[in-house]
Amino acid sequence: MAVDMKIPPVGESITEVTVGTWYKKEGDQVKMDEVLCGLDSDKATFELTAEADGILHILAQEGDVLPIGASICTIDNSGSAPTAAPTPAPAKAPAAAEPAPAPQPEAAPAAEGGKVIEMKVPAVGESVTEVTIASWSKKDGDQVALDEVLCELESDKATFELPAEAAGTLRIVAQAGETLPIGALIAKIETGSASAQPASSPQPAPAQPAAPAPSAEALGNGQNGYAAHYPSPAAAKILDEKGVTAQQVQGTGVGGRITKEDALNASPAPAQPAAAPQAKPAESKPAPTAPAPVAAGERGQRREKMTSLRRTIARRLVAVKNETAMLTTFNEVDMKPVMDLRAKYKDKFKEKHGVGLGFMSFFTKAVSVALKDFPAVNAQIDGDSIVYNDFCDVSIAVSTERGLVVPVIRNADQMSFAQIEKEIIRLAGLARDNKLTIDQMTGGTFTITNGGIFGSMLSTPIINAPQSAILGMHNIVERPVVVNGEIVVRPIMYVALSYDHRIIDGKESVSFLVRVKQILEDPARLLLEM
């Protein structure tokens, strides 16, 4: 019995995942709860564990995007039955075959019963209602083996391979390019009528020794060319990225099929675009110096598929720009009082609390106070209503290799400087290790992003929906300013507040930013709650 492994639900807002690295190979023996592969979503990375002991059969390759509930692999826990099925068939065939064609090995399926297995379009996800037949790897009338790939099915989210449910003769019902609903009949496999087809082959018996027909072994070795130079979905993506055509790669899979390993080993072909323009201008233009600049250096390109996280970031940022009335207001902050306070107490602070005293804790505390004074900045729109929050869950933007993530500091208004610093370090570490949970990244009421660590002088940050405002920090630069009628040099930081004008008026946005400026330029206000 085969256990069908499907993509598990990993969060309310996650509808699809990308297959990461497979830690097991096709046909490997796996154990219960053993990690099979990694799954990447737009928010986090998950591990898929085996649901039973048995032999692994992989259905989706690395890089494939699958919806929640789609089949990713099967585990055959019935022992070696699938692999032993093809071998006893030829042994039983000579005894059950007719006397005339006794020497022919193709008569093996005749020993099986006369069953017809109907192959139907499987369910590939809750939101997928129909699929399109991309291409057939087998032809009508071909002999197929159990679990052998018959065709590829494309949905609006991913590409799937349809394996044979039994060994026998394939009868194709739907052709390539047709769109079928889930559960529709796509093909039939005749497990008993296969004997009828070999029975008719003895008539041209003399012709068989001279020109042998493609036997089961020939099919497996690709001698009939039915799948030669035909890539699997994962291999096709890799070849497309490398700019290599399928005809340039020799497949090592079944029937000459190009596997993912073949595609990875295929060398990119930059010589084609370089050589073709070089030869044609030389023939069309008499001047020999014309093609010289083309050969001066290589102009390579590479194409990489966007990760789920990057696609989600792009989709949400565009949605915010289109769905909110976003404006940005600016101000400048004299950071000297904060810097003097840090320089005076940073050593004792670290000695007592075990963490450094950074700028982010000052900004978090200042924002928490200002949000209490201007509740509209801490609110959000829900349909025709405005939801006001009497708590401050401050989101902190963290840059990782996979993209920007925004973990949340819960109840930041009730935390001390040391607690905020420790929580920032903990969340940043989880973010860089891709171990943040969905709960740790949702539910914030206001966001702070610090582009200054990368050298940004000024920017207009985009709101983190469904929040209504975001504060942007920038680098600190010494600038001449006028203080008490005198020009002095002070460390100045530009700060920006992007806000949704539908809920926050201009007066509130400017007043909020001024309040943050006042607290940072006079940190004693935090102690006196002024």
Q: What is the CATH number of the domain that holds 491?
A: 3.30.559.10
- The reply to whether 41 and 111 lie within a common domain is no
Summarize pLDDT for 432-473 with one digit per residue, the tens.
888 888 889 889 999 999 999 899 999 999 999 899 999 999
- The reply to whether 195 and 339 lie within a common domain is no
Q: Which domain holds residue 148?
A: 103-201+211-219
* 234 belongs to a structural domain: no
- Cα dihedral 256/258/259/261 (nearest 10): 110
Q: Which of 84, 113, 138 delimits the end of a domain?
A: 84
User: Mean per-residue pLDDT for 36-62?
Assistant: 86
- The reply to whether 359 and 442 lie within a common domain is yes
> Given a cut of 80, is residue 269 above it in pLDDT?
no
Rounded CA separation 346/348 (Å) = 6
* 159-192 CB burial, b ≥16 within 10 A, e <16: bbbbbbbbbbbbbbebeeeeebeeeeebbbbbbb
Summarize pLDDT for 67-90 with one digit per residue, the tens.
888 999 999 887 544 444 444 444
Rounded CA separation 428/450 (Å) = 13
- Which range is most confident: 140-149, 250-259, 287-296? 140-149
Alpha carbon separation from 157 to 62, 205, 234, 287, 316 (Å, rounded): 15, 49, 14, 51, 18
Tokens of 72: 């990713």
Confidence of residue 494 (pLDDT cuts 50, 70, 90): very high
User: Mean per-residue pLDDT for 37-61?
Assistant: 85
Inter-helix orientation angle 506-521/359-373, to 10°: 140
User: Mean per-residue pLDDT for 255-275?
Assistant: 66
Contacts of 421 (CB under 8 A, 6+ apart): 353, 355, 356, 357, 358, 360, 361
* 466 belongs to a structural domain: yes
Alpha carbon separation from 511 to 391, 474, 497, 505, 507 (Å, rounded): 20, 20, 11, 10, 6
Catalytic-residue membership of 57: no
Rounded CA separation 158/6 (Å) = 14
Contacts by 87-92 with C-beta closer than 8 Å and gap 24+? 89/167
Q: Which of 162, 185, 219 delimits the end of a domain?
A: 219
> Which CATH number fits the domain that encloses residue 29?
2.40.50.100
Which of the residues 64, 140, 505, 522 is marked catalytic? 505
Summarize pLDDT for 403-426 with one digit per residue, the tens.
788 999 999 999 999 999 999 999
User: Mean per-residue pLDDT for 96-116?
Assistant: 48
Residue 312: beta bridge partners? none
* 107 belongs to a structural domain: yes
Residue 42, pLDDT score: 72
- How many CB atoms sit inside 10 A of residue 509's CB? 23
Strands, DSSP E only, in 292-342?
326-334
> Given a cut of 60, is residue 130 above it in pLDDT?
yes
- Which range is most confident: 2-16, 111-125, 243-257, 382-396? 382-396
- The reply to whether 37 and 159 lie within a common domain is no
- The reply to whether 157 and 12 lie within a common domain is no
* 96 belongs to a structural domain: no
- The reply to whether 380 and 507 lie within a common domain is yes
* 367 belongs to a structural domain: yes
Residue with tokens 């003399």: 206
Strands 446-450 and 394-396: parallel
Residue 151: beta bridge partners? 136, 162
- What's the total number of domains in the chain? 3
- The reply to whether 135 and 164 lie within a common domain is yes
- The reply to whether 111 and 75 lie within a common domain is no
* 397 belongs to a structural domain: yes
- Which range is most confident: 150-164, 215-229, 515-529? 515-529
Which of the residues 53, 229, 501, 522 is marked catalytic? 501
- The reply to whether 34 and 133 lie within a common domain is no
- How many CB atoms sit inside 10 A of residue 293's CB? 8
Strands 326-334 and 385-387: unpaired
Compare 217 and 501 and report the one with higher pLDDT: 501
> Given a cut of 50, is residue 277 above it in pLDDT?
no
In one-letter notation, the amino acid at residue 239 is L
Q: Which of 184, 219, 254 delimits the end of a domain?
A: 219
* 324 belongs to a structural domain: yes
Q: What are phi and psi of 34, to 5 degrees?
A: -80, 140
Residue with tokens 């290790």: 433
> Given a cut of 90, is residue 194 above it in pLDDT?
no
- The reply to whether 66 and 125 lie within a common domain is no
* 272 belongs to a structural domain: no
User: Mean per-residue pLDDT for 224-246?
Assistant: 69
Rounded CA separation 93/111 (Å) = 6
Tokens of 71: 């089949």
User: Mean per-residue pLDDT for 363-392?
Assistant: 94
Summarize pLDDT for 5-31 with one digit per residue, the tens.
898 887 767 888 888 888 998 889 999
Compare 508 and 237 and report the one with higher pLDDT: 508
- The reply to whether 377 and 520 lie within a common domain is yes
In what helix (H) or strand (E) does residue 120 lie, and over which residues does it extend?
strand 116-120
In one-letter notation, the amino acid at residue 125 is G
- The reply to whether 348 and 473 lie within a common domain is yes
Instruction: Give the residue ranges of DSSP H helices in 374-453.
Output: 417-432
Confidence of residue 209 (pLDDT cuts 50, 70, 90): very low
Residue 227, pLDDT score: 56
Residue 367, pLDDT score: 96
The DSSP 8-state label assigned to residue 231 in this structure reads B
In what helix (H) or strand (E) does residue 450 lie, and over which residues does it extend?
strand 446-450
User: Mean per-residue pLDDT for 479-503?
Assistant: 95
- Which range is most confident: 95-104, 115-124, 495-504? 495-504
Residue 292, pLDDT score: 55
Select from 98, 163, 165, 110 the least CA-distant residue to 137. 163
